[in-house]
Amino acid sequence: MARSRSSASRWRYVNPAYYLKRPKRLALLLILFVCATLVVWDRQTLVREHEEEVSKLNDEVTRLQSMLEEIKAAKSGAGKVNVIGKVSDASRNSDVLDDPIDIQRREKVKDAMIHAWSSYEKYAWGHDELQPQSKNGVDSFGGLGATLIDALDTLYIMGLDEQFQRAREWVAESLDFNKNYDASVFETTIRVVGGLLSAYDLSGDKVFLEKAKDIADRLLPAWDTPSGIPYNIINLAHGNPHNPGWTGGDSILADSGTEQLEFIALSQRTGDPKYQHKVENVILELNKTFPSDGLLPIYINPHRGTRSYSTITFGAMGDSFYEYLLKVWIQGNKTTAVKHYREMWETSMKGLLSLVRRTTPSSFAYLCEKIGNSLIDKMDELACFAPGMLALGSSGYAPDEAERFLSLAEELAWTCYNFYQSTPTKLAGENYFFNSGQDMSVGTSWNILRPETVESLFYLWRLTGNKTYQEWGWNIFQAFEKNSRIETGYVGLKDVSTGIKDNMMQSFFLAETLKYLYLLFSPSSVISLDEWVFNTEAHPIKIIPRKEGRFHDN
């Protein structure tokens, strides 16, 4: 009885009526409540402010670390070419403040490169490419260490010095081109010659130039044809150039017109004009009968120099021929010696305009393919290099034309970004069809870590300063991280709808995709477009002033 009375008296303190009868106690209670609230609120604010402070400090640490690495790289490179150069009006985005978000993002991209590279080092060292699922290397390019050479300049630009040095030792000690292997002249040029020349231009280390000369000498007999249009395959040990059986004896347009940058650069650096001579002849030969729309079909006869009835495309087998017309003009300092490249490129851009169509209902611009007089409503992801090329070339036009081409570049980049955004994995398929009323639909459904869309985003960011392109690039990077990163490297997808993975880490993922993403979040003085020109495998080649005159002019 006594216990129940005392417990009842304890409960009276929670009864509101108790306080209503005792106003002083009510006031005291209210004061206590307000004080407690203030203490809790104050602590939360302090915690929040503290967290913000910590995050700012973290950003600052990342920024300083990054700066330190860049300074270290610059110092250790006495005699080397600094990757940080001058920037003119062409790159309008500000370099003064390095955005903390950019710093964080490029660190993430660098982390991806470290992951890709260390997986290659661990499981596929010295082989052409890594198969991450089965953890082994494969020699898809004849055993030339394609990934290692493709990655050299990316390692250098990212300041991954130890990795670069290990790769350099392999090139010096173990790289051997004397292989009884039928190599693709195009693939070997853009990856190996281009990769070595870029490593030479960045580091100043002669070993890279010697190796570039060695492999180029082995490729050179491919140009010994009646027309000068090269055969596309050559045996690295024995020569014997020829074309693949499936082209019916013809040479492929992109494979024949995408060696100019590398071979001109090699002539400039060795002082031997023979490389430049061979590749510039190809363009002169094609220019003799260049059509009024500047569009060439993908097959050309190397004996007669004539065009065979075949597809016209800015995608597979056509693409980089058009890219190099513009880039040789840039590499040649836009001088009269290279004027015909720009003229041919402008003619081809008229042809490109004739291939532009828009989807319904959303009005995405796309580039058709063409056969004979018929247009095909199909576009490869490979053709997504075109927005970057158009943006890069736009400044050579008078203002109205420049605006027109830049605006088309922006429209096409939006379409290419939507190739990614429209799939469940947010990664693009290999090609797209455009049917009335349905906008875009995936054709071939794989994704092999290709770079073309991020390449265009990089150019558009550099040339417009519009941060939207960085956001799109970041979204694509995150989709690669989510779908393609596994413990032992990066893989492609067999199907962008299901996300089923393949077993190949393409060498261009390290050469191109990750490099363009890294540069997308770097100041525009890092590999300035005023001083460097990228080959089609994203290897930056230093622009060297070119004297007038077509050959023997270095």
Residues that bind ligand DMJ (CB under 6 A): 190, 320, 382, 450-451, 508, 512, 536-537
Cβ nearer to ligand DMJ, comparing 338 with 382: 382
Smallest distance from the beta carbon of 63 to ligand DMJ, in angstroms? 32
**Burial (CB count <10 Å: 0-12, 13-18, 19+), residue 405:** buried
Cβ nearer to ligand DMJ, comparing 132 with 315: 315
Smallest distance from the beta carbon of 139 to ligand DMJ, in angstroms? 17
Q: Is 381 a catalytic residue?
A: no
Residue with smallest beta-carbon separation from ligand DMJ:
536
Scored b (16 or more CB within 10 A) or e, 23-32 reads eeeeeeeeee
Cβ nearer to ligand DMJ, comparing 190 with 427: 190
Smallest distance from the beta carbon of 187 to ligand DMJ, in angstroms? 7
Q: Is 62 annotated as a binding residue?
A: no
Strand 485-486 vs strand 441-442: parallel, antiparallel, or unpaired?
A: unpaired
Evaluate whether 236 touches 177 at the Cβ level (below 8 Å).
yes
Q: Is 214 a catalytic residue?
A: no
Cβ nearer to ligand DMJ, comparing 103 with 265: 265
Smallest distance from the beta carbon of 393 to ligand DMJ, in angstroms? 17
Report H helices in 83-193.
100-124, 146-157, 161-174, 185-187
Tokens of 178: 């004397």
Cβ nearer to ligand DMJ, comparing 102 with 262: 262
Smallest distance from the beta carbon of 514 to ligand DMJ, in angstroms? 13
CA dist 260 and 48 (Å) reads 58
Evaluate whether 483 touches 495 at the Cβ level (below 8 Å).
no
Q: Is 319 a catalytic residue?
A: yes
Evaluate whether 470 touches 518 at the Cβ level (below 8 Å).
no
How many other C-beta atoms lie within 10 A of the C-beta of residue 45?
10
Which residue out of 319, 381, 455, 495 is catalytically annotated?
Answer: 319
CA dist 533 and 162 (Å) reads 26
**Burial (CB count <10 Å: 0-12, 13-18, 19+), residue 434:** buried
Smallest distance from the beta carbon of 508 to ligand DMJ, in angstroms? 4
Smallest distance from the beta carbon of 254 to ligand DMJ, in angstroms? 7
H-run or E-run covering 251: strand 251-252
- Which residues, including other chains, have CB under 8 Å from residue 94's CB and lie 6 or more apart? 465
- Rounded to whole angstroms, the maximal C-alpha distance in the chain is 119
3-state secondary structure of 402: helix
Tokens of 111: 């982390």
Q: Comparing C-alpha atoms, which of 513, 512, 484 is closest to residue 133?
A: 484
CA dist 479 and 481 (Å) reads 5
Which residue out of 323, 452, 512, 531 is catalytically annotated?
Answer: 452
Cβ nearer to ligand DMJ, comparing 430 with 531: 430
CA dist 59 and 11 (Å) reads 54
- Which residues, including other chains, have CB under 8 Å from residue 75's CB and lie 6 or more apart? none
Tokens of 326: 């513009």
Report H helices in 380-500.
386-394, 399-421, 452-464, 468-484
Cβ nearer to ligand DMJ, comparing 159 with 194: 194
Cβ nearer to ligand DMJ, comparing 461 with 508: 508
Q: Residue type for 538, please?
A: A
Q: Is 452 a catalytic residue?
A: yes
Per the annotation, where are the binding residues?
536
Per the annotation, where are the binding residues for Ca(2+)?
536
Active site residues: 187, 319, 430, 452
